[in-house]
Amino acid sequence: MKILFLGDIVGRDARNTVLSKVNYLKHKFKPDIFIVNIENAAGGRGVTPKIAKQFFNSKIDVLTTGNHIWDQKEIIKYIQETNQLIRPANMPEGTPGSGQTEITLDNGNKILVINLMTNLFMSQNDFVFKSMEKILLNIKLGEDYSAIFIDLHGEATSEKTAFANYFDGKVSAIIGTHTHIPTADARVLPNGTAYQTDVGMCGNYDSVIGMKKELAIDRFFSKKSYLTVAEGEITICGVIIEIDDNTGKSLDINPIQIGGVLKPTLIE
Ligand SMILES: [Fe+2]
Ligand SMILES: [Fe+2]
């Protein structure tokens, strides 16, 4: 089975570029499930129901998010009605929406998709390691699910790498999001979990993590400035992961970088 995942969509041009390439990406990589992190899709701040629907209508299976999930207030109602839009599972009890969802393929294979947020340099949430252990208490990879995919949303590379090694072999893939910068460490860990510390954003890299350079630089000098999205030529960043249907462990992972100012990956 193959999972295609794209990192944080930042702004309108990234949205439109990704939506215009969905068919191309599906044809090229032949994923069984297509997951996108949507947390910055609405002008860099969260996602609206209208935007989420555009992605679902384009046959994206699951939308994951992160710390920006509540930036657009209409999303509070929508997330409670929409199983396939998820927010970090370790947000405190009582938070609207769910942190996980499952997809059943035509062949009966079930895939569990989980969104989690790390703790270092992030807003306060439950301890991410314990939250994941709790989720895994009653489920087993290869028995209850043919694949378990985690979008691990967080700032610190050390924390994400520790998390991935701690849960190596218990899930199919752990892919980092949030920093908007892709790391060059995509690999399958020794016990079969595919991992990349950060997949990078889908956005304009001629920017400061997707925001206009001048404004973002000014913020380091002055408190008065604000940020807006650097629209323009987009690099689509993601990964394609191949998983053994019987064991749920990963066989391969390849980063995808298409368009814009980043060097393309060979797979393109
Ligand atoms: Fe984030
Ligand atoms: Fe983000």
Known active-site residue 178: no
Nearest listed ligand to the Cα of residue 44: 2
Show the low-confidence residues of the chain (pLDDT under 70).
268
Centre of ligand 2 to C-alpha 108, Å, is 33
To the nearest 10 degrees (0 to 180), the angle between helices 157-166 and 128-136 is: 20
Residue 96: what pLDDT?
Answer: 98
Centre of ligand 2 to C-alpha 38, Å, is 8
Residue 112: what pLDDT?
Answer: 98
pLDDT tens, residue by residue, 111-127: 999 999 999 999 999 99
Residue 141: what pLDDT?
Answer: 98
Compute φ and ψ for 114, nearest 5 degrees.
-125, 140
Centre of ligand 2 to C-alpha 143, Å, is 33
Q: If you write DSSP's letter for every residue of 6-59 in order, what string do you get?
A: E--BBHHHHHHHHHHHHHHHHHHH--SEEEEE-TBTTTTS---HHHHHHHHHTT
138 in any annotated domain: yes
263 in any annotated domain: no
What is the extent of the structural domain holding 89?
2-258
265 in any annotated domain: no
Residue 148: what pLDDT?
Answer: 98
- Contact in structure between 183 and 146 (CB atoms under 8 Å): no
Residue 268: what pLDDT?
Answer: 61
The Cα–Cα gap between 215 and 74 comes to 28
264 in any annotated domain: no
pLDDT tens, residue by residue, 226-236: 899 999 999 99
Centre of ligand 2 to C-alpha 160, Å, is 15
CA distances from 190 to 25, 62, 102, 172, 245 (A): 29, 27, 26, 12, 18
Nearest listed ligand to the Cα of residue 37: 2
Q: Which of 68, 153, 178, 180 is catalytic?
A: 68
Nearest listed ligand to the Cα of residue 68: 1
Centre of ligand 2 to C-alpha 123, Å, is 14
Residue 266: what pLDDT?
Answer: 76
Centre of ligand 2 to C-alpha 63, Å, is 13
Centre of ligand 1 to C-alpha 8, Å, is 8
The Cα–Cα gap between 123 and 67 comes to 7
* pTM greater than the 0.85 cutoff: yes
150 in any annotated domain: yes
pLDDT tens, residue by residue, 145-172: 999 999 999 999 999 999 999 999 999 9
267 in any annotated domain: no
- Count structural domains, the chain: 1
Q: Can you give the CATH number for the domain in which 199 is found?
A: 3.60.21.10
Nearest listed ligand to the Cα of residue 66: 1
Protein residues within 5 Å, CB atom, of ion ligand 2 = 8, 39-40
